[in-house]
């Protein structure tokens, strides 16, 4: 897949919504607020703003994992587990993808360039009929999503950012990259893909955040 094909479709959503639209009963104009003069030209999801930086958000200390010790376990519903070493990951075909990132803390970043192995490749030999996946990370982080959101070219185990090894604070040596959902789904320091029949909530999903997290539907919190 080339960079162009790898880019996610940008939906034609305009962030200039009418005040209070879809939020019955509230229409509050903030007197004297004009917004930036350079409002984003290309659409960002509702409630997001564009940044050129790459902010770091994580709930605890940054794990530092040596690639010699790194493993990616794939656990099927029946408990059978296959384990991938770093060398094995590196031996798999990888892709360069250019994608937009959307963090639930409201920043979006356009055209980020990653290299990683497609989850389609990782799960190629799996005949699992699981419907969900729980992603586990070094440092005890986890996040859940429907398995289909990991397949068909929508998700990668990413190990390079912008042409360099992925830094630890951004999830290196390898993180999940699933850019069509809010970035907390793109688990840093990924360690395991647990295939499941049921949808087991992950870390933020048990702390008030949305179970699915589609930025274009602004699914930030439970009930959105």
Residues at the contact surface with other proteins, assessed by CB under 8 A: 15-20, 23-36, 39, 47-49, 51-63, 105-107, 139-140, 169, 203-204, 206-208, 220-224
Residue nearer to other proteins on the CB measure, 9 or 28: 28
Q: Give min distance, CB of 121 to other proteins, in A.
A: 32
- Taking only Cα atoms into account, the Rg of the chain, rounded to an integer number of angstroms, comes to 18
Residue nearer to other proteins on the CB measure, 1 or 56: 56
Residue nearer to other proteins on the CB measure, 157 or 166: 166
Residue nearer to other proteins on the CB measure, 6 or 202: 202
**DSSP type of residue 6:** H
Q: How many CB atoms lie within 10 A of CB 72?
A: 21
Strand ranges (DSSP E) for the chain?
49-50, 71-75, 81-85, 95-102, 107-118, 132-137, 142-146, 156-161, 164-165, 175-177, 190-196
φ, ψ for residue 50, nearest 5 deg: -85, 140
- Do strands 49-50 and 107-118 pair parallel, antiparallel, or not at all (unpaired)? parallel
Q: Give min distance, CB of 124 to other proteins, in A.
A: 34
Nearest to 189 by CA among 141, 120, 122, 121: 141
Residue nearer to other proteins on the CB measure, 94 or 137: 137
> How many Cα atoms occupy the beta-carbon half-sphere of 47 within 13 Å?
16
Q: Give min distance, CB of 103 to other proteins, in A.
A: 9
Q: Give min distance, CB of 126 to other proteins, in A.
A: 32
Could you tell me what percentage of the chain is helix, strand and coil, using 3-state DSSP and rounding each to the nearest 5? 15, 30, 60
Q: Give min distance, CB of 4 to other proteins, in A.
A: 27
Q: Give min distance, CB of 101 to other proteins, in A.
A: 12
Residue nearer to other proteins on the CB measure, 103 or 157: 103
Nearest to 117 by CA among 143, 84, 89: 89
């Amino acid at each position: 897949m080339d960079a162009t094909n790898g880019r996610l479709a940008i939906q034609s959503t305009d962030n200039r919504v009418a005040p209070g639209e879809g939020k019955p009963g509230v229409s509050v104009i903030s007197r004297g607020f004009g917004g930036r003069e350079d409002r984003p030209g290309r659409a960002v999801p509702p409630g997001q703003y564009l940044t050129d930086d790459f902010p770091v958000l994580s709930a605890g200390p940054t794990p530092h994992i040596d690639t010699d010790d790194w493993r990616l376990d794939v656990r099927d519903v029946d408990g059978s587990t296959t384990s991938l070493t770093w060398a094995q990951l590196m031996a798999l075909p990888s892709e360069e993808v250019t994608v937009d990132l959307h963090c639930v803390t409201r920043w979006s970043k356009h055209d980020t360039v990653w290299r990683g192995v497609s989850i389609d490749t990782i799960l190629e030999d799996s005949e699992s009929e699981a419907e969900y996946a729980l992603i586990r990370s070094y440092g005890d982080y986890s996040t859940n999503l429907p398995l289909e959101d990991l397949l068909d070219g929508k998700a990668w185990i990413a190990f390079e950012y912008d042409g360099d090894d992925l830094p630890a604070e951004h999830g290196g040596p390898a993180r999940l990259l699933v850019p069509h959902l809010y970035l907390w789904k793109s688990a840093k320091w990924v360690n395991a893909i647990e295939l499941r029949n049921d949808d087991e909530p992950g870390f933020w999903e048990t702390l008030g955040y949305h179970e699915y997290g589609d930025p274009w539907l602004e699914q930030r919190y439970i009930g959105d």
